[in-house]
Structure 1
Amino acid sequence: MTFHSMWAELLPVGRSSASGGYRRYAWTGADTDCRTWFREQAEARGLTYEVDRNGNQWAWLGDPAAGDAVVTGSHLDSVPDGGAFDGPLGVVSSFAALDELRARDVTFTKPLALVNFGDEEGARFGLACVGSRLTAGRLTAEQAHRLTDGEGITLPQAMEAAGHDPDAIGADPERLARIGAFVELHVEQGRALDLSGDRVGLASAIWPHGRWRFDFRGEANHAGTTRLDDRRDPMLPYAETVLAARREARLAGAVATFGKISVEPNGVNAIPSLVRGWLDSRAADQATLDTVVAGVEQAARAYAEGHGIDLDVVRESFTPVVEFDHALRDELARILGSDTDLKVPVLGTGAGHDAGILSGTVPTAMLFVRNPTGVSHSPAEFAAEDDCVAGVHALADVLEGLACR
């Protein structure tokens, strides 16, 4: 199948007719359909298909146990009403790159594997990269078993309902020991390539980033009969904290976003008793990130005290700066540099990826494909087909350089 035909086949899966965005949440029907698509693509190419203990899907060319394998892929799940490219572009491109290598009639000297990591976005259970975190031992089975979605369904319950054994999850060092290099292709989540005029880029590092939960606790009361001076309204310090996050991030040259909120009792005519907001913050280095988050928390506590509100702040997840393997990155630059028609700039990113999670265990690298809108996690996310095809060619060149002679 061509890149275009594979893309067209996957495009309708999990798409909302109302928003035009995608709702491919982990261990739901849409996720199952995506996983079925991956298995069928693997079987159509005669690859050895398997699902590991953490629900990640693998398609192997060559002996999986031989070691020093070259692996490529990404994820197929989405954020709420996300775009079509974040994750799926890397998975579709991995199959297309294999097809191109077979058309080149190359000889593989190392095993090659294509992978779909499960629950990368964390849209359902609130923690990103669950599949790769479990595999790398950066999330324990006990911690994973405590994850719940918005309806109170636990991760084990969701996995079991989808036909996967939740008692099997956990670190998988034997699998990681098979991998000599992991290369993830991804749509750029920004406009650096569009501004430079390049179709494909090479990642240097992932900014440190994390998620913090701010719980503002006040007193529920009647919205129509309670005097303003008698209110303990947690929405007020929350709103001021949102503005403080923007201010602190701008001063530091970082980013900070309150993108998710939960309100109790969530009635139009009721003063809230609880406003819970989640802060996502990222910066080019650890010191800057610490400064931003500390500034936001300090402001939040001052606002909360001024309104008679109790505040709890909990760090729910954190990923330190990820410097991709320099030797592998240099090797990719050398391979791609032999194509005189393709300039490959090196750029950092504020977005987290499975490649970043695995980087502490195996050599990893990332390729980016131009996104002219710079928009991601939105239905407006876009990459032109000729740029996507350029990404496939670049990935095929890299895989040939690493796994073939």
Structure 2
Amino acid sequence: MTTAEQVLGRCSELDTISASDTWLERTHLTAEHRAANDVVGSWMEAAGLSVRQDAAGNLLGRREGTEPGMPALLLGSHLDTVPDAGSFDGMLGVVMAIAVAERLRHAVLPFALEVIGFSDEEGARFGKALLGSQAVAGTWDEDWWDLADRDGTTLHQAFLDFGLDPRAIGDAARRPEELVGYLEAHIEQGPFLEAADASLGFVTTIAAARRFRLSVTGEARHAGGTPYSRRRDALVGASEIVVAVERIAKGAGTLATVGRIQAQPGAVNVIPGRADLSLDLRAATDDERDRTWETIELEAERICADRGLRLDVALTHVAPAAPCAPWLQDAVIEGIRSTGDTDPMGLWSPAGHDAMAIAAITDIGMLFVRCHDGISHHPDEGVREVDVARGLDAFEQAVLAIARDLP
């Protein structure tokens, strides 16, 4: 039986598959992607799964149910990373899923069992997240073929270089009738389980998100020759908006982040005539997200009007909330309780996951594993062996609960 120690050892082995000698970086359709698929595929085969790579570069292992061709319960997460990544975001979920499949090698299940290692959740190479899972969900956008990495290689060319046929991308899509549901184990990427001294938690929903580009336009003038009464400083107006964004989101119980701001013309002795800023907005529900945005937009318009500035807004990304199915939440809760936690903690996930894409075609459920100080997307990501051990037990019991209570 695969143990937590072995799971952590496999995560460490994946750490060695990196484009950098000094940090962990493994991105979509690279030599490192291929090497990770090869190694993880060997673990899937050892667990008794038949292994294949789909038309999007995702890695799949399958064990049939009581009859060939039955719908599958899909377990998994992603194998790609951000630059300078930690050891567990995504990879832990894939390796745990393989371990559970190995533990259930001889179980009689009323469905096929599949494990998937998604090829591109982070979007680090082409700037578009969830490429692997959106291919599986059948929500591929043909415009994505023109996306290019920092070297100018398009996604279309990268497919060809990797040995994939872009014309066959539709073959990666799964039909709803092919799946029973999807379960994903993932580090929490937040501090709440650790604060509650809990190893595990169940996810209630994955964040509703919207992203915007805000452009504030004023007038560039001489920094020494223009008195305050004559200034239309775009950067000062944008800064006031940034402070308002934090205040409004805190009051609404949502999350809003300005991660980038750029002033033009960018000279030390020129009043900025334009400032462009990003806004990332997340909430547990679509309504909370949209109400927060409406308040932010009204306040930003007021600030600009008071300062004689113009505000332009462009929506760059939108994702609906992805609630976890109650029956799969119940299975995950039962799994957590089997480890001795009688009152499992439910959490909404502000971070995005492959599950939110797969929700387009089947019910989803998620298990969170405590991570040290909530740190993620950083080499200091850390999990404890005892939490992984409990996670394996809970994940296994959740699958058995689904087999028992399948709707």
What amino acid does structure 1 have at the position aligned with 2:394? Answer: A
The offset of 1:129, in angstroms, is 1.6
Structure 1 Cα separation of the partners of residues 96 and 163 of structure 2: 28
Show structure 2 runs of 5+ residues with no match.
Answer: none
Aligned to 2:132: 131
Q: Does 1:290 align with 2:294?
A: no
Aligned to 1:397: 397
Structure 2 Cα separation of the partners of residues 69 and 359 of structure 1: 15
* Alignment TM-score, normalising by the size of structure 1: 0.84
The Cα offsets for residues 152-183 of structure 1, whole Å up to 9 and x where unpaired, read as 54322333333322232248554543211211
Q: Does 1:95 align with 2:98?
A: yes
* Contact 2:136–2:174 (Cα < 8 Å) also in 1: no
Q: Secondary structure of 1:66's match?
A: coil
Structure 1 Cα separation of the partners of residues 232 and 125 of structure 2: 31
Aligned to 1:114: 115
Aligned to 2:30: 28
What amino acid does structure 2 have at the position aligned with 1:5? Answer: G
Aligned to 2:11: 7
The Cα offsets for residues 301-323 of structure 1, whole Å up to 9 and x where unpaired, read as 45556667654322222222222
Aligned to 2:84: 81
Aligned to 2:163: 163
Q: Does 1:72 align with 2:75?
A: yes
Aligned to 2:334: 334
The offset of 1:325, in angstroms, is 1.1
Q: Check 1:125–1:155 CA distance in 2 against 1; reply closer, same or farther (3 A cut).
A: same
Q: Check 1:328–1:28 CA distance in 2 against 1; reply closer, same or farther (3 A cut).
A: same
* Alignment TM-score, normalising by the size of structure 2: 0.83
Structure 1 Cα separation of the partners of residues 31 and 121 of structure 2: 16
The Cα offsets for residues 4-29 of structure 1, whole Å up to 9 and x where unpaired, read as 321221123337566x5x43332334
Superposition map of 1:3-402 within 5 A: 3-14=7-18, 20=23, 22-62=24-64, 66-102=69-105, 105-138=106-139, 140-150=140-150, 152-170=152-170, 174-216=174-216, 234-261=234-261, 275-303=275-303, 311-340=311-340, 344-402=344-402
My pick for the range that moved more, 359-368 or 161-170, is 161-170
* Contact 1:111–1:403 (Cα < 8 Å) also in 2: no
What amino acid does structure 1 have at the position aligned with 2:60? Answer: W
Q: Check 1:224–1:237 CA distance in 2 against 1; reply closer, same or farther (3 A cut).
A: closer
Q: Work out the number of aligned pairs and report it.
A: 399
My pick for the range that moved more, 70-79 or 323-332, is 323-332
Q: Secondary structure of 1:186's match?
A: strand
Structure 1 Cα separation of the partners of residues 37 and 232 of structure 2: 48
* Contact 2:254–2:284 (Cα < 8 Å) also in 1: yes
The Cα offsets for residues 70-90 of structure 1, whole Å up to 9 and x where unpaired, read as 110101222343322211110
Q: Check 1:126–1:276 CA distance in 2 against 1; reply closer, same or farther (3 A cut).
A: farther
The offset of 1:224, in angstroms, is 8.8
Q: Check 1:27–1:260 CA distance in 2 against 1; reply closer, same or farther (3 A cut).
A: farther
Q: Check 1:253–1:17 CA distance in 2 against 1; reply closer, same or farther (3 A cut).
A: farther
Q: Check 1:43–1:283 CA distance in 2 against 1; reply closer, same or farther (3 A cut).
A: same
* Contact 1:141–1:170 (Cα < 8 Å) also in 2: no
**Alignment identity in percent?**
33
What amino acid does structure 1 have at the position aligned with 2:72? Answer: A
Q: Check 1:269–1:391 CA distance in 2 against 1; reply closer, same or farther (3 A cut).
A: farther
The CA RMSD measured in Å over matched residues stands at 3.5
Q: Check 1:226–1:121 CA distance in 2 against 1; reply closer, same or farther (3 A cut).
A: farther
Structure 1 Cα separation of the partners of residues 84 and 274 of structure 2: 26
My pick for the range that moved more, 311-320 or 387-396, is 311-320
Q: Secondary structure of 2:204's match?
A: strand
